[in-house]
A and B are shown apart, each in its own frame.
Chain A
Amino acid sequence: MSLDIHQISKSFGEFTVVQDVSFSVEPGTIFGFLGTNGAGKTTTMRMILDIIRPDTGEVTWGGTPTRYLPRDTFGYLPEERGLYLRMVVEDQLMFLAQLYGADRKTVKEELDVWLARLHIEENRRKTVDQLSKGNQQKVQFLASVLHDPQILILDEPFSGLDPVNAEQMKQVFREMRDRGKTIIFSTHQLDDAQELSSDVAIIHRGRLVITGPVGAVRQSTGEHYVRIAVAGDPENLWLDGEWDLEIVRRRSDYTEIAVPNEEVARSILREAVRRNLPVTRFEIDYPSLNDVFLTHVRKMPAAMQPTREELTAVPVGD
């Protein structure tokens, strides 16, 4: 019983949006679907939902093509928020849940719980256009869960949320997972995915870059990252010189170095100790999803190299 995306492709006219993408989502997990803006995330999600059909390939849930599933299997949070602006929150949510086929009484009870859970009870009788952006986003989220779907498809769920609300939303995701829901969310903030999901798929220009458990994906480049900080030398200039180290980024709080293996990492620490430097931080880690993405993409042919616009959407640096 897993959601299997099997070699789906989709073109609009001459333009290929998604090409030969495959990945699997285990039930009861949070799955991060990652890529820059315009990578084909939304199109892929719409194909999972059977809002549009792939030209080739197929999406199945427990072996059944999604187009044969009851409509209430899925809950969908579209990237471009969609609600009736002049309609009262409560009426609107009741309407949408019932449209999915949910029972009125059950939905009403669920709604009470959810409004309290997200601290938006006082907005219940307001129209959507009276709400703040963050609260509209919460209502939009409720519109995707009230009919109690098995699978949640959430397109950029954190965009427009302040850090407090984003944290609250992440907590809700974990609760939903613990209730057995399968959650697929897309984001271009790769760190959100690293924090939340057990598995990820990264796509670039409509093609799958890599997919698998977060740990495996982070190890896929074969590199280790060293983070080191030394008191009194924020730039870690001592690292320059005959070493020929690949310094990934210099931050004010630490410097990040890509190393081929742990032995090289330890030799850096030894050198620091030998020089008697006041080391305040030393850490060996795998590259972040962000860096994994960049490393993989840089190995691709020139035509696939990300443009400046695409990269500005991926925050380089922590």
Chain B
Amino acid sequence: MFEPGRVGLIAKREWSTRVKQRSFQITMIIQILVVLALGLAPVIIARFAGDDEGSGASVVVVDRADAGVAGRLVPWLEGDGDTLETIEVRSGAGSPEAARAMIDEGDAQSALVVDRGDDGVLTFTLVTEDDRSSRNVQRISVAASAIAMEDRLVQSGVSLEEAQQVFTPVAFYVESPTNGQGDTDFAGSTDANAAEYAIAYISSILMFIAVVMYGTWIAQGVVEEKSSRIMEIMVNAATPRDLLAGKVIGIMMAGLTQLLPMLLVGSLAFSFQTQIADLMGVNVERVLDIDFGALTIRSVGFFLLYFLLGFVLYGALYAGVGSLVSCQEEVSQAIAPMMTFMMIGYFGAFFVLGAPNTTVARWLMIFPLTSPFSAMPRILLGNPATGEIILSVVLLVLTATGAIWLAGRLYRVGVLMYGQRPSWRSLARMGGMQQVAR
């Protein structure tokens, strides 16, 4: 069916002309810089914000009531290591003015001034730039009222130990209603799950970008060959099928040449965030903690399988469509019908990310025009039957083969047709007449 030598020759030419283009190289560098910036963003932000250690959250206590407030605040303002951060409690500012100066110099975020009123009740004044409703102000307020009540009990004769027992901070957890039932909420999920979510998410986006960007290259390349008439020599020297396969493979390789370094740099940047932070001497409280150990052979294998098959399918269709139009301006218009299916697959993928075990998700995975985009989320996050995955892949293989056949046919008819866009009827007729042999 194909002549590997010719296909390889064409693919090599496509690859090398693309790769040598200045715009190709610049795009590649920009992409790498962008993922590097994204990957290292937490570290970089911490680095620039981090001139003052512990500025994250701290409160200076000016205890004019001498009620031991600083020590009593500590258990209240401890973080839980997850969603609540620890607010550091300091003492050492003798006056509200000194405390204000500390805030101005960035040594502390807020100051809590404690006085005892004439009625013997503690009063608290929080000096802060934070909004009244901010989480830290709320936490300090809760702590202050507990300490005030504790203090009243002590004043009325209860021992300090007893009072403190009453006011031990309560164990209080917040959970989302679906948690613990295989939910896929990004924040609420386990680390491994988050990684699979990220991989599914990235693979759908990559697939879409690759098909749209490099598919357009394919269509434009065909139109260029048509309009420069070199196509007349090419179809004489090789079969339309070889030309088509070579073009799709060559541009796919060029696409991978552009994408893989970006992926590599990106995943390295994400996975070594902690180490990079250490190297730069930055203390990053919360890095995007994706465990790329979840990049198993299974997930990478499925990604490559769907990527290659999906690219061949759509690449062939792009080439076929390109062979039917005669100038670059018509390309985007002519690919609109295909674009509809790609959009369904792409936006479908986001739906599947949230609901991977629904009927819609199953159909999006089986239907070959959407499966390149929507299958990965379901395979990684849902629990599709093995038979279903096999069906999806087999259908995709068959459709990709059919697309090459169809596009080869269109190519044969389309490449020598200039000017008017052909009607479907004339295509069918001419396709029929030009059967056999090559």
* Residues of A near any B CB (own CB < 8 A): 13, 46, 49-53, 55, 67-68, 71-72, 74, 76, 78, 80-87, 95-96, 98-101, 143-144, 147
Contacts of A99 in B (CB 8 A): 6, 9-10, 234, 237-238
Give the residue name and chain of the A residue nearest to B438 (CB).
A67
CB atoms of B236 and A74 under 8 A apart: yes
When distances are taken between beta carbons in the complex, the residues of chain B under 8 Å from A82 are: 228-233
Give 3 closest A-B pairs by Cβ, nearest first: A82-B229, A82-B230, A78-B232
Stretch at the interface among B305-313, B393-401, B429-437: B429-437
- Chain A residue nearest to B235 (CB atoms) is A51
A100 neighbours in B (Cβ, 8 Å): 237
- CB under 8 Å from chain A, chain B span 6-31: 6, 9-10, 13, 17
Assess the A76–B232 pair: CB atoms within 8 A.
Answer: yes
A71 vs B6: C-alpha distance when bound (angstroms): 12
Report if B126 contacts A (CB, 8 A). no
B333 at the interface (CB under 8 A from A): no
Please judge, given known A-B contacts A46-B416, A52-B416, whether A71 and B232 are in contact too, CB under 8 Å: no
Tell me whether B436 and A71 are in contact (CB under 8 A).
Answer: no
Q: Which residues of A contact B434 (CB under 8 A)?
A: 52-53
Contact of A76 among B10, B236, B438 (CB under 8 A): B236
In the complex formed, the residue of B with least CB distance to A74 is: B236
Chain B residues within 8 Å of A143, by CB? 233
Q: How far is the CA of A81 from the CA of B230 in the complex (A)?
A: 7
Taking CB atoms and an 8 Å cut-off, the chain B residues in 389-438 that contact chain A are: 416, 426, 433-434, 436-438
- C-alpha gap A147/B228 in the complex (Å): 21
Given A50-B438, A55-B433, are A84 and B230 also a contact pair (CB < 8 Å)?
A: yes
Q: How far is the CA of A161 from the CA of B51 in the complex (A)?
A: 74
Interface residues of B (CB under 8 A from A): 5-6, 9-10, 13, 17, 225, 228-238, 416, 426, 433-434, 436-438
Q: Given A76-B232, A82-B232: A71 and B426 within 8 A (CB)?
A: no
- Which residues of chain B have C-beta atoms less than 8 A from A13's C-beta? 426
Q: Report how far A76 CA is from B434 CA in the complex, Å.
A: 20
Chain B neighbourhood of A50, CB < 8 A: 437-438
Within 8 Å CB of B13, what residues of A? 95
Chain B residues within 8 Å of A52, by CB: 416, 434
Residue on A with the closest CB to B434? A53
Chain A residue with Cβ nearest B415: A51
Instruction: Please report the C-alpha to C-alpha distance between residue A67 and residue B438 in the assembled complex, in whole angstroms.
Output: 8
Contact A49 B236 (CB under 8 A): yes
Question: Contacts A51-B416, A52-B416, A98-B9 known; A71 to B238 CB distance under 8 Å?
Answer: yes
Picked from B232, B235, B238, B437, the residue with its CB within 8 Å of the CB of A68 is: B437
Contact partners of A49 in chain B: CB under 8 A: 236
Q: Which residue of B5, B237, B433 contacts A96 across the interface (Cβ within 8 Å)? A: B237
In the bound complex, how far is the Cα of B434 from the Cα of A47, in angstroms?
11
Given A74-B236, A99-B6, A99-B238, decide whether A83 and B437 contact each other with a Cβ distance below 8 A. Answer: no
Q: How far is the CA of A80 from the CA of B415 in the complex (A)?
A: 14
CA of A72 to CA of B236, assembled, Å? 9
Partner of B437 from the list A67, A72, A74 (CB cut-off 8 Å) is A67
Dominant secondary structure of chain A at its interface with chain B: loop
Contacts of A80 in B (CB 8 A): 229, 232
Q: Knowing that A80-B229, A99-B10, A144-B233 are A-B contacts, what are 8 other residue pairs whose CB atoms are under 8 Å apart, sorted by A's residue number?
A: A80-B232, A81-B229, A83-B228, A84-B17, A84-B225, A84-B228, A99-B9, A99-B237
User: Measured between alpha carbons, how far is A280 from B426 in the docked complex, in Å?
Assistant: 62
A71→B229 contact, CB < 8 A:
no
Q: Which residue of B lies closest to A67 (CB)?
A: B437
Closest-by-CB residue of B relative to A86 is B17
Cα–Cα, bound, A4→B233 (Å)? 22
CA A98 to CA B238, docked complex, whole Å: 10
From A95, which residue of chain B is reached at the shortest CB distance? B13
Kindly provide the distance from the CB of B323 to the nearest chain A CB, expressed in whole angstroms: 14
The distance in angstroms between the C-alpha atoms of A251 and B372, with both chains bound, is: 74
List 12 A-B residue pairs with CB atoms under 8 Å apart, sorted by A's residue number.
Answer: A50-B437, A51-B236, A55-B433, A67-B436, A68-B437, A71-B236, A78-B233, A80-B229, A80-B232, A82-B230, A82-B232, A101-B5
A59 nearest CB across to chain B (Å): 13
Complex Cα–Cα for A81 and B6 (A): 23
In whole angstroms, how far apart are the Cα atoms of A74 and B235 in the complex?
12
> For the complex, what is the distance from the CA of A199 to the CA of B238, rounded to whole Å?
30
Contact indicator B9/A95 (Cβ below 8 Å): yes
Please give the distance in Å from A13's CB to the nearest CB on chain B.
Answer: 7
Q: Determine the chain A residues whose CB is within 8 A of the CB of B17 once the complex forms.
A: 84, 86-87
| Contacts A13-B426, A67-B437, A67-B438; A96 near B228 (Cβ below 8 A) | no
* Min CB gap A10→B, angstroms: 10
B233, A71: Cβ atoms closer than 8 Å: no
Q: How far is B275's CA from A152's CA once the two chains are assembled, in angstroms?
A: 67
Q: Which residues of A contact B426 (CB under 8 A)?
A: 13
Q: CA separation between A81 and B231, bound complex, in Å?
A: 10
Bound together, the chains give a CA A143 to CA B230 distance in angstroms of 10
Chain B residues with CB under 8 Å of A144's CB are: 233
Residues of A within 8 A of B438 (CB): 50, 67, 71
Q: Which of B230, B433, B434, B436 has the most CB of A within 10 A?
A: B230
Chain B residues with CB under 8 Å of A81's CB are 229
CB closest chain-B residue, reference A68: B437
Q: Tell me, rounded to whole Å, the shortest Cβ–Cβ distance linking B243 to chain A.
A: 9
> Is B433 in contact with A53, judged by CB distance below 8 angstroms?
yes
B416 touches A71 (CB 8 A): no
CA distance A76 to B235 in the complex (A): 11
Residues of A within 8 A of B9 (CB): 95, 98-99
* Complex Cα spacing A188 to B64, Å: 110
Alpha-carbon gap, A177 to B10, bound state (A): 31
Which of A85, A101, A143 has the most CB atoms of chain B within a 10 A radius of its CB?
A101
Interchain nearest-CB distance for A11 vs B (Å): 10
Name the A residues within 8 Å of B233 (CB-CB): 76, 78, 82, 96, 143-144
A144 to B231, CA, bound (A): 13
Q: Which residue of the partner chain B has the closest CB to A100? A: B237
**Known A95-B9, A99-B9: A85·B228 in contact at CB below 8 Å:** yes
Residues of chain B with a CB closer than 8 A to A71's CB: 236-238, 438
CA distance A147 to B229 in the complex (A): 19
Q: How far is the CA of A76 from the CA of B229 in the complex (A)?
A: 12
A68, B437: Cα distance in complex, Å: 7
User: CB-CB < 8 A to B10: which residues of A?
Assistant: 99
